[in-house]
Amino acid sequence: MSKTAVSTENAPKPPAKFSQAVRKGNLLQVAGQVAFDPATGAIVGDDVAGQTRQTFKNIEAVLAEAGSSLADAIMVRVYLTDTAHFAPFNEVYDELIGEAPQPARTTVYVGLPGELLVEIDVLCVLD
């Protein structure tokens, strides 16, 4: 079973040598996405809620290119820069992720470059 890279102009290009997503069989792993505008490279959103919305737009663009959606997500990993961002992040997450059963989720606190406040990667199983 071979691996296939997924790439779209509707999400930011990776800053290093890795794929926006990789599919192998019915598994699809979307690389960590951040709040960059795919056209300009500028950060969208000056708070965690705004950046979370843009990050999910980028994720959804990659998923769409692979013929998938957030409905196929079984695991979401969230990287936040500050524990104070947990509650506002969760408000947007709950709005965007959809109805139960929601994917499993891990949230960790990390340093991100520049003014980035959130990074998210997603694992999907496709039918």
Residues 50-97: tens digit of each pLDDT: 999 999 999 999 999 999 999 999 999 999 999 999 999 999 999 999
Spatial CA neighbour of 79 closest among 46, 31, 121: 121
Q: Please say whether the beta carbons of 92 and 52 come within 8 A.
A: yes
- Asked whether residue 98 carries a pLDDT value surpassing 90, the answer given is no
Within a 10 A sphere around the Cβ of 88, how many other Cβ atoms?
16
Instruction: Assign 110 a pLDDT band (cuts: 50, 70, 90).
Output: very high
Residue 20 token pair:
């926006």
The predicted model gives 117-121 an average pLDDT of 98
Look up residue 71 and give its DSSP letter: G
As beta bridge partners, residue 77 has 106, 121
Q: Mean of the pLDDT values across residues 13-29? A: 95
pLDDT at 84: 97
Task: Write down the H helix ranges in 1-127.
Answer: 48-65, 86-97
Task: Choose among 126, 116, 76: nearest CA to 98.
Answer: 76
Q: Considering the chain, what is the average pLDDT of its residues? A: 96
Place 15 in a pLDDT band, splitting at 50, 70 and 90: confident
